[in-house]
Structure 1
Amino acid sequence: MNAVATGAVLAAAEELPEDVGKSGPLGLLLVLVLLVAAVLLVKSMSGHLKKLPRSFDDPEDDGPAIVVPDTPAELVDPPRQPGQDLLDTLRRAPRAIEGPRPERGDGGRTDPQAR
């Protein structure tokens, strides 16, 4: 009897329930949600791709231009602004930007006197 009881227990353990391997309504819902997400992703990406320029080599691009320095010193020193040489010259000679000094004995007035 032990052999018959053991065989019956093993036979019952090998049987699978009826719904194993079948898709249910939750699986269908999951597939539909994934399809909707994929459609929305494709729509969003196509919108972003339409905003891109046709070519990145256009000279009309408003982006910052890449400036390649001619010498290694230009990598360290900032580029000189227009008129910087004149300002440096004036800073070295500060009297060049002072007003004229009075040479007459009229109290330092440089404008013509009213009559």
Structure 2
Amino acid sequence: MGDSIAEVRGMSQPIRKQKPRPRKNVVGGVDFSKDYICLTCGCQRQPINVRRGHIAIEVLLYLFYIVPGVMYTLWRSVRRHDVCPKCRTPSIVKTTSPQAFQLRRLMSTLSQPKNKPAGEA
């Protein structure tokens, strides 16, 4: 019975202080600590890189004429662009861009509670 109550319950070790979690840069439900944001749907994932044009048109041009098919293939390979992985629109921007700062300002004004005048219920 030489054990104290604190040792029996496992409290002999000192309580460790947890490191404070870094505050997320969240405004109006949008996390601005991420790298990208879609201005259309609000998705915050990495953009995907897609080709413009259609593969069916490319195949059709190769079947009928070789030269336009090659030109269309070159045009498609040069005209790649980043799109949102969720809604497939090219309106995805970095969170450090001016459009994202505008969105942040808009979200911060919309997320603030409105103060009612004293006379209204």
Choose between structure 1 and 2: higher helix proportion. Answer: 1
Q: Which has the larger radius of gyration?
A: 1
Asked whether the two chains share a fold, i.e. TM above 0.5, the reply is: no
Choose between structure 1 and 2: higher strand proportion. Answer: 2
Taking structure 1 as the reference length, the TM-score comes to: 0.30
Taking structure 2 as the reference length, the TM-score comes to: 0.28
